[in-house]
Structures are given as structure tokens and as C-alpha cells.
Amino acid sequence: MSTFKYWTREKLQKRFGLQRIYNHTELSQWLQSEMEIDDYESKTLKRLLDKLIKYVDYWNEEELKIKFIGNMISLVDFDTDQISAFANRYIGGVVDGEELSGEPNLMIASGKQEVYAPFFFLHEYKKELDNDSPDPAGQCLASMLLAYHLNLETPQMANKTILGAYIIGRNWFFMVLDAQKNTVLALLMMQHKKKI
């Protein structure tokens, strides 16, 4: 059994035929979508963004999680009757004869206590400087690929697009595993330039 940490984009391409594309309509629309936010959310986002810009170069991984990412996750409030945010929960399974497993830093899935039908992953909260992670995109993509195959057993989630992101310092890299082809990786970098 190989853990997500083992996988790189090149290994995933060779083993599963995943290909990278550079323009993905669904990902672009998702990242450019407008959302109504109230005054409290706007002020909180601005405060968090200001703090990130000022301190991100000095925070270690745990500080980045506690002082920024955790606050963002709380603000979004993924915990509802239908879905929950799960941190460092084990998932494992078989994809085309290959056993994959790991504990993503964060995944959004149905279920309250147990993970069912995961559809969004966050991996690798790393510093921009002194980063020793070999391929956070590959690790995130491996978890997304496993989720796609696990979700085939859930009728309402079968063949759905899987979303993911990995974070290095102030940079958030978003990915889509296109469920219609199951062979497409789109990668887009988004920095803190989006207006709040």
C-alpha cells in the first residue's frame, strides 16, 4: 500500500494516465464566482488577509494552520447536516489494482463522524521558504483520485468532479480532477489578489 506522500504528478501520470491541462472552464468559473458576504465576513477576511501578508514568511506549518487556515475553515462553516470538514482522517482503497491511503490535512465529505463521499481536499500547508515537500500537488491529486473511485459506490457522487487545493505560504493552488474523463488535472494558482 502506498501513501499519498509517495505520489508525484509524474508517478500518477505514468501509473494512471492522468494528464495536466492548463485551462479548465469549471475551475475558472469556480474561482471567479462572486459570492455575497456580509459585513462581519468581509471584515474577518480582511483581518485574516492582512495578518497573512504580514506574518506568513515567519509562521511554521502549525502556526499557518492555527492562525489562518483554521479561521478560514471556521468562517466558511462546512459542518452542516449534509457535510463536514474532517482533519487528518484516514482514507484508503484500491484504484486500478493500486492500494492508496493517507490522512489528508483536510477533506470535505458527507458524514458527521465517518467520512463518506469526500469531494474537496486541502493538502500541505507549507512555508514558502525552506519547503522540503517533494510534490504537494501529487499528494493532493492522489487523494482526489482515490476519492473519485470511492465515490463510484455512492450513486449521487458517482462521476462527480473532485476538487482540491494545496497551500504553500500565501499561495493557494487549486485543482480539479475532471470526473467525466478521469484523466485530467487542471492546476491554477491563486494568490491573495482577489478583492474582498
- Give a yes or no: residue 89 inside a domain: yes
* Angle of the 9-16 helix axis to the 136-151 helix axis, nearest 10: 40
Reported as a single tens digit per residue, the pLDDT across 25-75 is 777 777 777 878 899 999 999 999 899 889 988 888 889 889 998 998 888
- Give a yes or no: residue 100 inside a domain: yes
pLDDT of residue 103: 94
- Give a yes or no: residue 70 inside a domain: no
Burial classification of residue 141, based on how many CB atoms lie within 10 Å of its CB (0-12 exposed, 13-18 middle, 19 or more buried): buried
pLDDT band of residue 127 (cuts 50, 70, 90) is low
Instruction: Look up residue 62 and give its three cell numbers.
Output: 502549525
Reported as a single tens digit per residue, the pLDDT across 104-126 is 999 999 988 899 899 898 886 66
> What would the mean pLDDT of 76-86 be, rounded to a whole number?
89
- Give a yes or no: residue 49 inside a domain: no
> What would the mean pLDDT of 67-94 be, rounded to a whole number?
90
Under the phi-then-psi rule, with left for phi > 0, alpha for psi from -120 to 50, and beta for the rest, what region is 164?
beta
Range of the domain at 109: 2-34+81-190
- Give a yes or no: residue 50 inside a domain: no
pLDDT of residue 22: 74
How many domains is the chain built from? 1
The tally of CA atoms less than 13 A away on the side-chain side of residue 66 is 5
Reported as a single tens digit per residue, the pLDDT across 177-187 is 876 654 455 55
- Give a yes or no: residue 55 inside a domain: no
174 vs 50, higher pLDDT: 50
- Give a yes or no: residue 63 inside a domain: no
- Give a yes or no: residue 39 inside a domain: no
Give the span between the Cα atoms of 26 and 194, in whole angstroms.
18
